[in-house]
Chain A
Amino acid sequence: DTGVSQDPRHKITKRGQNVTFRCDPISEHNRLYWYRQTLGQGPEFLTYFQNEAQLEKSRLLSDRFSAERPKGSFSTLEIQRTEQGDSAMYLCASSLKRGDEKLFFGSGTQLSVL
C-alpha cells in the first residue's frame, strides 16, 4: 500500500501529557498537511510543509502544538500538555507539488484526552 500512513490509529492520554503522531506521505509527494477534525465539522487546517520547510501554521494553533518534517519525508505532530479540548481526529494529507494541491488523506489518529 503506497497511500498516506498515520500512526498510531488511536491514542488515549491523560490531560497534561505530551503526545506525538507520525505521518508518512505518499513517497513522491513533496507537500504534507496536518488537519484536525471534530464530529460534525470539516477538517481544520493546522499546518503544511513543502519538503522540510514549514510554510504556514494556523494562527488558531497554540504554542503547545509543533510539527516537524525532517529531511522532507515523514512528519511528526506533537501536542504538549494536552487538554480535553484537544480530543479530535488528527488527519495527515499529502499532495504532489505546488500547483497540484489534490490532497490524499491518511486514516487519521483519533486522540482522546481524559
Chain B
Amino acid sequence: QKEVEQNSGPLSVPEGAIASLNCTYSDRGSQSFFWYRQYSGKSPELIMFIYSNGDKEDGRFTAQLNKASQYVSLLIRDSQPSDSATYLCAVKASSASKIIFGSGTRLSIRP
C-alpha cells in the first residue's frame, strides 16, 4: 500500500465548475496535510495546508480532512483554465518530519 494515494487522472472539468481532488493516506497518526500545484516543467508550489483540527478555505480553494477515513480533499470553485496543472497531495509522517507526496492528479479545465 502506498503511503499517499491519488487518482492520476486526467480529471476534466468545465470552466466555472467545481473541481474535486482527493487523496488517501496510510499513516493514521499524520496531522499535517498539504496540497501543491505543479505546472508542467515547473516545481511544486504550495497552495493549501491543513492540520488535524479542521477544514480550511482560502479564496477559491477549500481543503477538507476526514481523519476517520484517512482522506483529504481539495475543492476548487469557479475553475479557471489557469488551474490546469498537476495537484500533489502531501502528508507529514507522524514519526518524523519527512513529507510524503502522492503521485499527483492531472487537472484539465476545458473552456
What 1/0 flags go to B61-88 for Cβ under 8 Å of A?
0000000000000000000000000001
Most buried by A among B46, B88, B98, B104: B98
**Count, chain B residues at interface, CB 8 A:** 24
Which residues in B have their C-beta under 8 angstroms from that of A48? 97-98
Which residue of A31, A41, A98, A105 is within 8 Å of B44 (Cβ)?
Answer: A105
Chain B, interface SS category: strand
Q: Contact check, B46 vs A55: say whether CB atoms are below 8 A apart.
A: no
| Nearest CB of A to B26, in Å | 15
Report the nearest B residue to A43, measured CB to CB.
B101
Is residue B7 within 8 Å, beta carbon to beta carbon, of the partner chain?
no
Contact, CB under 8 Å: B97 / A45: no
Residue of A35, A98, A102 near B46 (CB, 8 A) is A102
Cβ of A91 under 8 Å from chain B: yes
Interface string of A70-114 (1 = CB under 8 A from B): 000000000000000000000100000010011111111000000
A sample of 9 more A-B contacts (CB under 8 A), given A102-B46, A103-B36, is A41-B103, A42-B88, A43-B88, A45-B101, A56-B98, A91-B44, A101-B32, A101-B97, A103-B34
